[in-house]
Amino acid sequence: MTPVRPLGGDAKAEPVEMPEGVSRTVEPSSPLSPAAGHLYAALDLGTNSCRMLIAQPKGSQFLVVDSFSKTVQLGAGLEASGRLSRASMGRTVQALRICQKKIEKHNVRRMRLVATEACRRARNARDFIRQVRRETGLQLEIIAPEEEARLAVISCAPLVSPKTEQLLVVDIGGGSTELVWIDLSGVDPEDRPRSIMQLHRGFYEQGEKLARVVDWISVPLGVATLKDQFADVEDDAARFALMSWFFEEQLANFSPYNAKQAREGFQIVGTSGTVTTVAASFLGLRRYDRTKVDGLVMTSDQIDTVIRDYLALGPEGRRTDPRIGRDRHALIMSGAAILQAMMRIWPTDRLSVADRGLREGLLYAQMSADGVLEDGPYA
């Protein structure tokens, strides 16, 4: 597979599931002028999951008032057929109906509803988008890999240390993995998180005290697609090793691949279900706790210990391990293979775990464009 290359805010409250409501068809945008009290929605339809946040601007950040997350496996069978299956589209439409009801219930005036790798690759994606509009009233937008990467980076800005001069943000998705390398050495330390937020305008904005994107890449391999590539390998450990080395091969044209980075001043931020699951396993959490996971700093050795534990458990042990969870156990080793490749190439004592990603980036970008966020440390 050929990696895609370029052509040219933090929610403090825990998401709370709210009752569903039913009313009129929701239009994708509202002509009403946005105000600080209005609610915003961000929906991320990926290869494996459908996730949505509804939030209200609050100061320089936002407050999550409702959320939704469902494993839909939209990309199931896509690797072999090149098409979204009828069953996967049916599951996804059911999930999107719930999202539509939540949007209506909260009278959301501004929203952005995006689809990523599965819809970028499927030959029948446009037909699926029309089906979604017809059956739910929601208008999905298929976004380019660059925008997906940029939004993931924006969401992680609050986790960037003022000491960080070189930053690598890794977003491991279901169908693709985005990596963005950012040079912060020319930015005042206290301005580094804020300068990353300015990337909502594009990766190539010029100006003083701005984060500089050295390079970025979108590898069309995520936890679901990488797993499918090696489904015929029976031995658990051999399959894991092959997945990790195969993923690393896809990074050969990423310019920082051969960069020799001192551990001091270098930070990796990882955002994905894989990274948060590894963190929860490291902490021994039998019940997931976002407040303990988001922002956790792990070393290469600690991550390697967790992955070795996963391998020792074997497929059956991982399936019943409460730290991994029912929706993650079948995908954790492909995700861990990607993560291990990262840590092999760029060893660091500062991998920051981000329980945030595309949805948060979508919310921040909408609110920032509307001018409803106050000046603050990350605005």
Q: Which domains does the chain have, with CATH numbers?
A: 147-354 (3.30.420.150)
Nearest partner of 30 among 129, 99, 108, judged by Cα: 108
Q: What is the pLDDT of residue 7?
A: 30
**C-alpha span between 104 and 176 (Å, rounded):** 31
pTM of the model: 0.81
Can you read off the two tokens belonging to residue 16?
């709370």
pLDDT for the residue numbered 265: 87
Per-residue tokens: 355? 């329980």
The residues facing 70 across adjacent strands are: 50
pLDDT of residue 158: 86
Angle made by CA atoms 290, 293, 294, in degrees to the nearest 5: 80
Cα dihedral value 25, 27, 30, 35, nearest 10:
70
Identify the residue whose tokens are 């293979």: 337
| Residue 263 vs residues 165, 212, 268, 336, 349: alpha-carbon distances, Å | 11, 20, 10, 22, 7
Structure tokens at 261: 């980075």
Q: List the 351-354 sheet strands across, edge first.
A: 212-219, 177-183, 166-172, 266-271, 351-354, 297-298
Tokens 């020799």 belong to residue = 260
pLDDT in tens, the chain (379 residues): 545 443 333 333 333 232 232 222 233 333 344 454 689 999 999 999 999 999 999 887 899 999 999 999 999 999 889 999 999 999 999 999 999 999 999 999 899 999 999 999 999 999 999 999 999 999 999 999 989 988 989 899 889 998 999 999 999 999 999 999 999 988 888 888 878 877 766 655 555 567 888 899 999 999 999 999 999 999 999 999 999 999 999 998 898 877 666 677 899 999 999 999 999 999 999 898 999 999 999 999 999 999 999 999 999 999 999 999 887 899 999 999 999 999 999 888 889 999 998 999 999 888 888 888 876 544 3
Among the listed residues 54, 163, 47, the one whose alpha carbon sits nearest the alpha carbon of residue 113: 54
In sequence order, which residues have a C-beta less than 8 Å from that of residue 62 and are 6 or more positions away?
9, 11, 40, 55, 56, 363, 364, 367, 373
**Beta carbons of 200 and 154 less than 8 angstroms apart:** yes
Question: For residue 230, which phi and psi values (nearest 5 degrees)?
Answer: -120, 25
- Residue 81: φ, ψ to 5°: -100, -25
Distance CA 127, CA 132 (A): 9
The pLDDT, as a whole number, for residue 79 is: 85
pLDDT of residue 24: 26
Q: What is the pLDDT of residue 21?
A: 29
